[in-house]
Structure 1
């Protein structure tokens, strides 16, 4: 796509989102915000205490190991436990699953509900484990 076509495409996208009623939840996020964050950035921000990391994998997956201090909120329980996700836009939240498929889908649903401060982690826990980064059994 040429540089001159990029602004036009962005305007078309924004108009389409507005027509679908989806623009409001996306505008709530900072204009420079993206939907995802790299695994390296996620780990650094989490270990520095600047973000909340929510592991949305299911309990049998948690049993294989989790990042120490991550909140465990299985995707299958999200509807009943939505109140456990901060609505404070000043408290960034990162969703992580096994590969990023479920966390990216969950993110879309949360963004539609106004959670503009939530992003998903690229690569997920499978990549975390592949890199040999520290993991603990749930509850430790």
Structure 2
């Protein structure tokens, strides 16, 4: 197979100026070595697939032998490229925890930190929040990481309304060296569906009215 403008090495060479400019401009906080390795590994399958498709196309036009095998291999490479982002997303998300597992951990009263990354208003809304949870909104998480330093090596469970914000928070904490981060699947929505206890502002207001 001829090495040309679409070869993997050429694609990598063309991307290198972009990589070099991204780091000094502060467009990413990922360490340089990790950034280079991840960029190359993520680009390589696509570059190989792109190159091989060109090769298979030329063979098809020329009527080369083994055309069916080449086409099947090309389709397999395309499938790998198509599903690779999902796989990477799952790996970046890290471990998960369902509601039953969370409840069991909370009942054990171990060192687990339950971090609720919803906004302050959502934390107090009708879904309520779990007693003992710490509320740091996702938007404030990076600026308040110092508050979580004691939990760098301890288990942290992330919860939100569903689990979307928790997944983003898990990526942030993972990039900052937190070793044991879990996303609570289903979030407070699932917690409420299971009819588990929550604390809400409404309950507090009703209690105050009873006292008065």
Same fold, judged at TM 0.5 (above): yes
* Corresponding residue SS for 2:182: strand
The counterpart of 2:106, out of the listed 46, 58, 77, is 46
Unaligned stretches of 5+ residues in structure 1: 1-15, 22-33
Q: Could you give the per-residue CA deviations for residues 74-102 of structure 1, whole angstroms, max 9, x where no partner exists?
A: 1121122111223441x211010110001
Q: Is the 8 A contact 1:46 1:52 kept in 2?
A: no
Who is 2:194 aligned against? Answer: 131
Who is 1:37 aligned against? Answer: 97
CA distance in 2, matches of 1:47, 1:78: 26
Q: CA deviation at 1:36?
A: 0.9
Instruction: Give the number of the structure whose residues are more often helix, by fraction.
Output: 2
Who is 1:61 aligned against? Answer: 122
Larger-gyration structure (1/2): 2
Q: Is the 8 A contact 1:57 1:97 kept in 2?
A: yes
CA distance in 2, matches of 1:79, 1:61: 19
* Corresponding residue SS for 1:120: strand
Change in Cα spacing, 1:108 to 1:88, as seen in structure 2 (3 Å) is closer
CA distance in 2, matches of 1:136, 1:108: 28
1:20 aligns with 2:38: yes
CA distance in 1, matches of 2:173, 2:147: 13
RMSD across aligned positions (CA): 2.2
Higher relative contact order (Cα pairs below 8 Å, separated by 6+ residues): 1
| Number of aligned residue pairs | 111
Change in Cα spacing, 1:18 to 1:94, as seen in structure 2 (3 Å) is farther
Runs (4 or more) in structure 1 with deviation over 3 Å come to: none
Change in Cα spacing, 1:131 to 1:87, as seen in structure 2 (3 Å) is closer
* Corresponding residue SS for 1:95: strand
Unaligned stretches of 5+ residues in structure 2: 1-33, 40-93, 205-212
